[in-house]
Amino acid sequence: MALAMAPVLGAITAPLSDHQILVLLVQLTVLVGVARITGWIFRRAGQPSVVGELVAGVLLGPSVLGRISPSVHQWLFGEPGVTSVAFGLAWLGVIMLLVVIGFETNLGIISRFKGAALASAAGALLVPLAVLVPASFLVPESFVGAGTDRGVFAGFFGLALSVAALPVVAKILLDLDLIRRNFAQVTLAAGMTMDSVGWLVLAALSGVAQGGFRPGALALSMAGLVLFVAATATIGRWILDRLFRLVMGRGAAATPAAVSILLVAALLGGVVTQALHLEAIIGAFVVGVVAATTRHQPPQVRSVLETVTTGFFAPIFFAFSGLRVDVSLLDGTALAWGAGLVAASIVAKLVGGAIGGRFGGIRGREAVALGSGLSALGAVGIVVAIVGLNLGVVSETGYTVMILAALVTSMLAPQLLKAVVRKWEVPAEEAERLRAEELRETSELLGVKRILIPTRGGANSVYAARLVSAVFPETETTVMVVDLAPRSWWLRLLRRPAGSPGNPDEVVAELPRSRMVRKRSVDPGAAIAAEARLGYDLVVLGATETGEGTFNTVVDRILALVEIPSIVVRFPGVIEERGLPGNILVPVTATRS
């Protein structure tokens, strides 16, 4: 037994020599350090920082450092054992990046601008694909990986030049202070749709690249993927939600626990898609998208993951991707082809975005702005390139062209967009919406996302619900009914639950987006306070009917225990049929812990 294990333990015991650890340390220090500094310089220069991080890799790679000092380059990147560890880290970085991107994929925006987004995404993806995939059949042989089918190559190459980089797009729109404009919202929604579709196409392509074009195997992989997405969106979402809810009661330990849950879930998603002969990152992306839709989310998970990814792991990934760019591989022909393809990609995006946008109701200058925004290839193009390189579909030369295309388009897109929007008047009705949204944003109470309405029924609660549905029409609400349980266990066994004096269903009926939770407790106030800790932003209470003063003891106790802002609403008179009374003053108590 002990003997049989020996090789395994031997492998585990000392996988890296002391010298290798030193090289790894220096490599990570240099990669992250240089990437963050160039990223910062690029951002100061008004460029996306991801471009700077890629450039750091190019500088440290064979094109620059390898030329200036081949021996330093060899020392830093010449140890295969070390490089595979750095690769593992870069690869964990891209998994984390995809979880974060997935987390930020707002299904709400996509569904609000459904038609326009789908039409624009289709235009901005299909037109470039229609131009660039055929063009990829004509590019020099030196772009193609050894022994690779031209068709598979054309798929990867064309896809890499047709996708859109959502983070880059969003950053540009944010920087230009356009993010709230109609066309910008459609651009974002279209970008997210293109992202999602892009990942799926990449999944299909990498399946083909690994198994050859065997329709059976491909169909199996795709069926598996559909099943995986469906299972993640239903059972997976339910389990994630339960787990998040479970850990959120645990105070300080909640966030680390939630980070573990999310990352393990993402890895598990990666296992599934990797086992389906697709890419692990697809699984991580799907898990991220689904996790963002769970009802309970410990509030810091998102920002913690984003911070560590932006601050450490994504730079490793981007710099590592840049490392593999070798400009010396580009001769005149390759450069000419590269420039031509970038130009074709941008023009195709503009034309495709404009055509798609027109179908979706976006016209004129706005449609051009939409196409300009979507012309940045950015991170998605880079990932497609790196997967293509790792699978041997694309050669070093082809890879270099793909990365440079991502760099150039990400730098041109903001300039294009700026040129289009210069001296552009905002239409009156849109300006109105923008003002309303800004107001909503700045008002703290109006920024709430989850509302808890504890109730036992009654007119005040109905009124509270009506107020909520008028002020927060799009907010998810939870109606919580706590039935008082007797203190002694034998009474609890003997007596039936007291039930509510009013009818809680009346309250639910007032709310467009609500669900009901029912609990029994000897201390309803404490039960409500415990629920409120699970990530709600606001508690809305109807003042209890029977109270003689303003509020009775239960309401007082809830106000004392609840640690988030709370509003108590008192029914001011006759409720009009389906509507709020006109100018009646609502006695509102807002507390903030």
- 326 by Cβ neighbours in 10 Å (0-12 / 13-18 / 19+) ranks as middle
What would the two tokens of residue 422 be?
Answer: 């210069």
Query: Which residues in the 45-74 window bind its own copies by CB under 8 A?
Result: 62, 66-67, 70, 73-74
Residue with tokens 């235009």: 123
The stretch near its own copies (CB under 8 A) out of 115-123, 217-225, 229-237, 253-261 is 253-261
Tell me if 396 contacts its own copies by CB under 8 A. Answer: yes
Which of 280/289 has CB closer to its own copies? Answer: 280
Tell me if 511 contacts its own copies by CB under 8 A. Answer: no
- Give phi and psi for 141, each to the nearest 5: -55, -30
Query: Which residues in the 89-108 window bind its own copies by CB under 8 A?
Result: 89, 91-92
Which of 298/458 has CB closer to its own copies? Answer: 298
What residues form DSSP beta bridges with 519? 482
Tell me if 40 contacts its own copies by CB under 8 A. Answer: yes
Tell me if 4 contacts its own copies by CB under 8 A. Answer: yes
Tell me if 553 contacts its own copies by CB under 8 A. Answer: no
Tell me if 270 contacts its own copies by CB under 8 A. Answer: yes
Tell me if 585 contacts its own copies by CB under 8 A. Answer: no
Question: Quick one: which H or E segment has residue 409?
Answer: helix 396-421
Strand bridging mode 538-542 / 566-569: parallel
Residue with tokens 């619900």: 465
Q: Which alpha helices (H) appear in 212-331, and where do they start and end?
A: 215-231, 237-248, 254-275, 280-292, 301-308, 314-323
Helix axes 49-60, 378-390, angle to 10 degrees: 30
Task: Identify residue 59 by its one-letter amino acid code.
Answer: L
Tell me if 88 contacts its own copies by CB under 8 A. Answer: yes
The binder of its own copies chosen from 28, 445, 471, 516 (CB under 8 A): 28
Tell me if 288 contacts its own copies by CB under 8 A. Answer: no
Tell me if 304 contacts its own copies by CB under 8 A. Answer: yes
The binder of its own copies chosen from 45, 69, 78, 141 (CB under 8 A): 78
Query: Which residues in the 111-170 window bind its own copies by CB under 8 A?
Result: none
Instruction: Name the region of 410 (left: φ>0; alpha: ψ -120 to 50; beta: rest).
Output: alpha
As measured in angstroms, the least distance from the Cβ of 18 to its own copies is 7
As measured in angstroms, the least distance from the Cβ of 542 to its own copies is 29
Residue 348 CA: distances (Å) to CA of 200, 345, 588: 21, 5, 56
The stretch near its own copies (CB under 8 A) out of 176-184, 250-258, 417-425, 461-469 is 250-258
Query: Which residues in the 322-351 window bind its own copies by CB under 8 A?
Result: 323-324, 326, 328-329
Tell me if 2 contacts its own copies by CB under 8 A. Answer: yes
Considering all CA atoms of the chain, what is the largest pairwise distance in Å, rounded to the nearest integer? 90
**395 within 8 A of 144, measured Cβ to Cβ:** yes
As measured in angstroms, the least distance from the Cβ of 86 to its own copies is 8
Q: Which alpha helices (H) appear in 449-546, and where do they start and end?
A: 459-471, 489-494, 504-509, 524-532
Closest to 206 measured CA to CA, from 269, 274, 268, 146: 274
Q: Would you give the binding string for its own copies spanning residues 181-220, x where CB under 8 A is met? A: -----------------------------x----------
As measured in angstroms, the least distance from the Cβ of 35 to its own copies is 9
